[in-house]
Amino acid sequence: MGHTEGLRHATRYLFARKFRKHGAPAPSITLRTFRIGDIVDIKVNGALHSGMPNRVYHGATGIVWNVSPHAVGILVKRRVNNHIAPKRIYVRTEHVFPSKSKNDFVARCQANLKAHEEAKKAGTKIALPKRLPAQPRASHVVKPELIQTITDAPFRENW
C-alpha cells in the first residue's frame, strides 16, 4: 500500500458525507443560479462524482468567470511552489455555494451610506466610526463576602 497518490487520495474523511446526509443533493441546490463575478465557495459533495474538483480546492473561495449549463468556471488562487497562481477550474454547481465573505462589508457600507444621508438631511458632517478590535475590560475590585482558608486534609494512616 506504500505511497499511493491517486487523483482522490487522502479524501476518506474529506469527501465523506455526514451522518444521515447521504444520497443525491436536494433540487434547490441543483437549481441555483450563478452569475459572472459572483464570489463562491467550493465545498465538494462526495455523493456527486461528476464535475468534482480536486481536493486542494475544497474550501477555497473564488470568483465566477464563466457559466455553462451545468457547471461554472471559477478563478481560484492556489499556492504553487514559491508564488500564488490564479487557476481557472470548472466545477459542477452542486459543489459550489454562494460565499458569505462580503456580507459584513456590504452591511457596513449600507449603514455608512444611511448615516451619510441622514447627516446630509440634518446639514451636519459625519465622522464615521473606526472599527476597533475588542478592547480590554475595565478594571474592578473583587470583594468576596466571606474569606475561607483552604488547607489540606489532615494525614490519616489507613492501617
Q: What is the pLDDT of residues 86-106, one digit of tens each?
A: 999 999 999 999 999 999 999
Residue 107 falls in which region: left (phi positive, over 0), alpha (psi -120 to 50) or beta: alpha
Match 449549463 to its residue by C-alpha cell. Answer: 69
CA distances from 7 to 10, 11, 55, 60, 153 (A): 9, 10, 9, 18, 63
**3-state SS assignment for residue 103:** helix
Q: Tell me the whole-structure pTM to 2 decimals.
A: 0.75
33-65 pLDDT tens trace: 999 999 999 999 999 999 999 999 999 999 999
What pLDDT was estimated at residue 1? 65
Q: Residue 156's CB: how many other CB atoms inside 10 A?
A: 5
Is the pLDDT confidence value at 128 over 90? Answer: no
The architecture (CATH level 2) of 1-122 comes to Roll (2.30)
Could you tell me which residue, 126 or 46, shows the higher pLDDT?
A: 46
DSSP-derived pairing of the beta strands 83-92 and 39-42: unpaired
**Mean pLDDT, residues 11-27 taken together:** 94
What is the domain partition of the chain in residue ranges? Answer: 1-122
